[in-house]
Amino acid sequence: MTSLEIDWTRCDGHGLCSVLLPTRVGVDEWGFPVLHDPDVAEADLPAARRAVAACPALALRLETPVPLSR
């Protein structure tokens, strides 16, 4: 499953991701994002991609695990 990840070394707490993905991201008392559920369902991927593209600090990304091959 694809999941949302936050690079804390980049995030500036603009809070834009919580506005664009309110069902998945909230903010703490300092304005930094809190992921309610990092797993992103297929139907939510377009909105998640828009949030990733809009992050002004390039801190938000989508990760899809790559299966290990033998």
Question: Going by C-beta distance under 8 Å and a sequence separation of 6 or more, which residues neighbour residue 31?
Answer: 13, 14, 15
Strands (E) located in 1-70: 2-6, 25-27, 33-35, 39-40, 60-63
**Cβ at position 42, least distance to ligand SF4 in Å:** 22
Q: Which of residues 5-64 bind ligand SF4 (CB under 6 A)?
A: 6, 11-17, 33, 55-57, 59-60
**Cβ at position 70, least distance to ligand SF4 in Å:** 36
**Cβ at position 45, least distance to ligand SF4 in Å:** 17
Interface residues with ligand SF4 (CB under 6 A)? Answer: 6, 11-17, 33, 55-57, 59-60
